[in-house]
């Protein structure tokens, strides 16, 4: 699929955190007590090593040529500048060039300086309707230097905004198959999605490779290359306040979420053996007989995760199928697809479990094993079913791990 991307001057690249240091040039002596000064002194004495009369005044050397530093954007005295702006500048000696941005009160704005790209970026969106001053200093080093200032004013607070929310909250503990889910209150145009991804960072401890993938124009997920490492800490940082998001809309605010990954609890189900194998932290702790969906209502083969749990509920399909529908009380239900497949206790099929498939697509276990599983699982615990007549449809649940990592990365706009 070919996506046309609109290049905008405020596009954000990866941030390099570089501490600006100031280097002062120093003159080095030649060890000669009678130096020859350019444009002054007794030239014959200098050439022949004789001594001067002392009456010739030495003139100072001319000032070194200073490098040119300039603010490229925002333009000088620009108005209506987006709050998520980045400052671009030029310098012949970027390593020894510093950039400071101050508000009308002279308070310096916190930001990071990318000297390789010659870009300064604020740590968060600037205030709306505020005048700022940019000062670029090319400190004298090896004969180069210079200084310039420029001002700009940010736009008024926009009326068209897009809210950004996280499905997970701070401190929430989830399973190793749980994706990070970010939702938008309005569709993000395809040409803006790469910019959105650049403004969303995920930091896992310990470090783990991962990628964003767009599920829809209003929803984007993040998953690691393989299941999360057990007991990881995951920090999500979304910086979209003041960022243009298309059609005159702007991000309303920034968002941060601290998430904890729990122990590794992985369930695998084989239709061939009619058994579920449960591993915790890599070790088999239980083998459970199951009954899957009969041929007319097969269970889906693929990798799913536990999305919600209900100790007691009622399955009611009479509204969609008045003739063959049913209404049945269920214990220890754990949803794994949006279409209605669950892991749950089914005392009526205990004689069939481990031998024959009789369910409507769910993973049936005994009442005792249903209670045992229910007491140990958490949202995001993965379950992989294999060998059934039907493949899991992508998007029928949180199916992020149902595809290869290479296929998942194709859902990113970077």
As annotated, the active-site residues are 344, 362
Taking a C-beta distance cutoff of 8 angstroms, is the pair 150, 88 a contact? no
Question: What is the DSSP code (8-state) at residue 108?
Answer: B
Q: Which helix (H) or strand (E) holds 408?
A: helix 405-409
Per DSSP, the residues of 61-103 read PPPPPPPP-EEEESPTTEEEE-TT--EEEE-S-GGGEEEEEE-
100 phi/psi in degrees, rounded to 5: -130, 140
Distance between CA 276 and CA 164 in Å, rounded? 38
Collapsing DSSP states into helix, strand and coil, what is residue 375? coil
Say how many Å lie between the first and final Cα of the chain, rounded: 13
The number of angstroms, rounded, from the C-alpha of 118 to the middle of its chain's C-alpha atoms is 23
Strand partners, 391: 301
Taking a C-beta distance cutoff of 8 angstroms, is the pair 110, 17 a contact? no
382 phi/psi in degrees, rounded to 5: -85, 150
Count other C-beta atoms under 10 Å from residue 49's C-beta. Answer: 8
Count other C-beta atoms under 10 Å from residue 229's C-beta. Answer: 15
């Amino acid at each position: 699929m070919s996506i046309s991307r609109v290049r905008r001057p405020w596009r954000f690249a990866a941030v390099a955190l570089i501490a600006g240091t100031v280097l002062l040039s120093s003159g080095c002596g030649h060890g000669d007590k009678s130096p020859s000064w350019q444009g002054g002194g007794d030239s014959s004495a200098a050439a022949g090593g004789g001594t001067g009369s002392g009456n010739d005044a030495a003139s100072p050397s001319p000032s070194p040529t200073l490098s040119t530093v300039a603010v490229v954007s925002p333009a000088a005295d620009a108005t209506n500048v987006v709050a998520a702006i980045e400052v671009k500048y030029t310098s012949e000696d970027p390593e020894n060039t510093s950039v400071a941005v101050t508000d009308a009160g002279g308070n310096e704005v916190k930001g990071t300086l990318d000297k390789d790209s010659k870009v300064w970026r604020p740590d968060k969106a600037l205030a709306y309707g505020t005048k700022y001053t940019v000062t670029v200093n090319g400190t004298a080093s090896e004969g180069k230097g210079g200084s310039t200032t420029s001002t700009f004013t940010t736009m008024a607070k926009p009326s068209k905004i897009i809210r950004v929310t996280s499905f997970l909250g701070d401190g929430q503990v989830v399973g190793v198959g749980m994706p990070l889910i970010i939702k938008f209150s309005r569709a993000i145009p395809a040409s803006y999605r790469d910019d959105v991804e650049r403004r969303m960072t995920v930091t896992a401890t310990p470090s783990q490779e991962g990628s964003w993938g767009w599920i829809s124009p209003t929803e984007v997920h993040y998953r690691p290359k393989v299941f999360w490492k057990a007991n990881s800490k995951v920090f999500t940082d979304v910086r979209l306040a003041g960022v243009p998001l298309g059609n005159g809309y702007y991000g309303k605010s920034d968002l941060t979420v601290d998430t904890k990954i729990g122990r590794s609890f992985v369930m695998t189900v084989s239709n061939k053996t009619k058994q579920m194998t449960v591993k915790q932290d890599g070790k088999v702790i239980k083998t459970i007989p199951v009954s899957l969906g009969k041929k007319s209502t097969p269970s889906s083969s693929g990798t799913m995760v536990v999305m919600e749990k209900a100790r007691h509920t009622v399955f009611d399909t009479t509204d969609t199928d008045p003739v063959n529908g049913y209404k049945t009380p269920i214990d220890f239900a754990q949803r794994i697809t949006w279409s209605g497949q669950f892991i749950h206790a089914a005392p009526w099929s205990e004689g069939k479990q481990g031998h024959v498939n009789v369910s409507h697509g769910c993973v049936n276990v005994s009442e005792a094993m249903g209670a045992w599983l229910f007491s140990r699982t958490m949202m995001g615990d993965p379950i992989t079913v294999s060998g059934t007549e039907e493949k899991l449809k992508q998007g029928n649940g949180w199916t992020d791990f149902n595809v290869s990592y290479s296929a998942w990365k194709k859902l990113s706009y970077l």
